[in-house]
Amino acid sequence: MTSHAVSLPRRLSRLVRLEHTVFALPFAYVGALLAADGWPGTASMAWITVAMVGARTLAMALNRLADAELDAHNPRTAARELPSGALSRAQVAALSALALAVYLVAVFQLEPIVRWLWPVPVALFVAYPYLKRVTWLCHLWLGACLGLAPVGAWLAVTGRAPWEAWLLGLAVALWVAGFDLFYSLFDLEHDRAAGLHSWATRFGEHGVFAAARAMHVAVVVLVAVVGVGLDAGGWYWAGLASVAALLLYEHRLISPGDLRRLDAAFFTVNGVISVVFCAFVALDTLL
């Protein structure tokens, strides 16, 4: 079956990789649960979910629009919906507008402060795709985009963001930046040939592994400091131990010169990390 024969909703879903919402959405729930130190309310959790799905769909659609020409020249991405012609730029632009509308509707159902701050993540989303053209620090920008998830949810529930919220956001940012360094290895040779910037093109495979290890060690430390600040219970600490073990496993899956299990290290393990930590935080705050 050709990509054009697939229904439009499925093509749009493939474009934005809707399943990858699992990276950020559980950490938004973590922020909301910790902010309330219990159940934040069904309405708040529902609107946070809608806002996150809208925001992430907008971010991915904008990314695909900005990168369409680059994707067409990269063998790994040439079959994506825009360069392959399965979707038109007008269709993806319409999806972007719809996602922005969904995000705004959700934001305006939450605490008043987030109604003023909604342009912040949108600005980060718009800028991110272009950074690889100018700086190898683009991974940290992506981390900042997802690191806003727990901070934004904290604000959405309580109207304030204490230092624990910001440290949790920084932990998420470093977690994302660290695994995005691994992701950059998929396109190392292409990016070098195309003159694009990434940590991999600047520092090579060994530099990627060293930086990712440092970032992920910092994640564990930061989440521990958050737990101390919140006087978290045993389930929280069990969740942190699980995250530390999963990060260690991720780093043991691959090594410089052996990237055969890079897909598993990037997609599977990190999806499990976010869901598992969210589950433990839920146990800690709700029981």
Q: pLDDT of 205-240, one tens digit each?
A: 999 999 999 999 999 999 999 999 999 999 999 999
The whole domain housing 76 covers 3-286
Q: The tokens of 49 are what?
A: 């979910």
Structure tokens at 219: 């994640």
Decide if 181 contacts 214 (C-beta within 8 A): no
Q: DSSP assignment, residue 266?
A: I
The 10s digit of each residue's pLDDT in 33-89 is: 999 999 999 999 999 999 999 999 999 999 999 999 999 999 999 999 999 999 999
pLDDT at 74: 93
Q: Which of 11, 116, 119, 16 is nearest to 63 (CA)?
A: 16
Alpha helices in the chain (DSSP H): 8-16, 25-36, 42-72, 81-84, 89-107, 112-117, 119-131, 138-158, 163-184, 188-194, 199-230, 234-253, 262-263, 269-286
At 17 the pLDDT is 81
CA gap 142, 135 in Å, rounded: 12
pLDDT at position 172: 97
Tell me which amino acid residue 198 is. S
Q: Reply yes or no on whether the pLDDT at 8 is more than 80.
A: yes
Which two three-digit tokens encode residue 22? Answer: 């699992």
Task: Quote the Cα angle for 24-266-232, to 5°.
Answer: 45
Nearest C-alpha neighbor of 172 from the set 160, 185, 154: 154
Query: Mean pLDDT score of the chain, rounded to an integer?
Result: 93
Expressed in angstroms, the distance from the first to the final Cα of the chain is 49
d(CA 192, CA 200): 9
Structure confidence at residue 258 as a pLDDT band (50, 70, 90): confident
SS3 of 256, please? coil
CATH number of the domain that residue 91 is part of? 1.10.357.140
| Segment among 22-26, 120-124, 198-202, 279-283 with least mean pLDDT | 22-26
Is the pTM above the cut of 0.85? Answer: yes
Q: How many domains does the chain have?
A: 1
pLDDT at site 18? 72
pLDDT, residue 4, reads: 58
* Per-residue pLDDT at 1: 46
Query: What is the average pLDDT across 144-151?
Result: 96
